[in-house]
Amino acid sequence: MVEKFLLSETGNFPSISEEVSNQINVTRERCYEGLFSIALIAPFQSGKSTTLNAFADGREVSPRGLGGGGIKTSACLVKVQNPHKSREESVKITWRTKQDLLERLDEILETTARSIPNSEISRRLREISNKEAEAETEEEAKQYREEYLSIIDFTKPEGKTLLEQAVRKELEEYENNPAKGSEGVQNQLDMLRFAMIVLAYYNDPMLKELKNKTNFEPKDIENYLKFPDNFERRWNKCFKNYSLNLTKKEFTLEEVMYAFIEEVTYIVNSENLKKLGVKIIDCPGIFASKYDTLTALQAMQEASAILFLISGNKQLSQSEIKVLSMLREVGYGNKVFFSINYRNNPKTKTNKAVIDTILEQLQQLGFKGDSQL
């Protein structure tokens, strides 16, 4: 009851202006309604999902990396909040549309799909893409885009065959790439997994039936966002002998459901969330792919605040600097707060020199340092 009393008293101070009082009242109403949201941002496998689960009293509502088996490019938002009125728990799933999936597959395979040897379809894609780039109006560009996507439509035999050819070509190039252990190449491999899953399962009758529903019980979907056991070993078999049938043989629909989910909102009874009065949003990795980046940016734009988890090494990593620089560039810097992940680097907590170095880097990036970091 103390939290509710404090919320009810906010804004009732005679010394503040009417404008500030109104802003406080809007924020207070957001807290009451669970609309005050915090976007959780961090480099891949830096404790982001673990932190979200801690907010939810330790319940695993967001999948963790599981020893390197996580996927950087799932682009799935996971939101968690306390029930507003009733104590009933539920989960709402927003499914990716066919248009979303087509755009994502084009991002992954566009270069390869346009360069299949002796392919009339590839030639048409190149031609339409050039026309779209040269279009004089947005409406004209939109028409070319629609024509382009209709050609790579994976629900049609012609489009599906082309995309399968593109996947095979990408996998061949991956095997022959001397830099295949690099982060950039591994990110592309993650995206190829996504493409293989969509091509294998989009027309699955069970998936079609599930997509008719939006509301679920938490226990019904607990495996939808978890990463499969023996993830890398099973995928390696698919990469070496690519076929849609093998993908379906190695992975059940439940294990790869994440590819078809755009957003999951958990309504759970949590003492932590009840005290905070907020909705926490686990954002996908920035720069993992264009799609992931846009999804994360949209979530951050709508969020009331952004909590950036710093890995806690001796200094900010290059990936952290890259993300923070972008947040400043897009104008989100004024609502970013920082937290250091001491779990992976416990010595950092008592190492003032490391904290001072991180604070100095943040200041150089344009963020106001705070000794309470």
Task: Say how many domains are in the chain.
Answer: 3
Indicate the average pLDDT of the chain: 82
The parent domain of residue 151 ranges over 96-261
* Structure confidence at residue 3 as a pLDDT band (50, 70, 90): very low
Q: Are residues 337 and 294 in the same domain?
A: yes
**Domain shared by 226 and 349, yes or no:** no
Q: Do 122 and 226 fall within a single domain?
A: yes
Decide if 36 contacts 22 (C-beta within 8 A): no
Cβ contact 228:251 at 8 Å: yes
pLDDT digits (tens, 9 = 90+) for 68-97: 445 555 668 889 988 877 678 899 999 999
Q: Which of 261, 282, 300 is the last residue of a domain?
A: 261
Q: What average pLDDT does range 319-329 have in this prediction?
A: 90
> Nearest-CA neighbor of 313 among 362, 339, 338, 348?
348
Same domain, 246 and 346: no
Domain identity same for 66 and 174: no
Instruction: Please determine, for residue 128, whether its predicted confidence score (pLDDT) is greater than 70.
Output: yes
- Picking from 261, 294, 324, the residue at the C-terminal end of a domain is 261
Question: Is 70 in the same domain as 20?
Answer: no
Say if residue 296 is in the same domain as residue 240. Answer: no
* 160 and 135 housed in the same domain: yes
pLDDT score at 50: 81
Whether 287 and 351 map to the same domain: the answer is: yes
Q: Are residues 287 and 361 in the same domain?
A: yes
Last residue of a domain, one of 261, 279, 310: 261
Query: Do 200 and 246 sit in the same domain of this protein?
Result: yes
pLDDT in tens, 230-250: 878 888 888 888 888 889 999
- What average pLDDT does the segment 266-270 reach? 89
Global confidence as pTM: 0.79
Same structural domain, 152 and 104:
yes
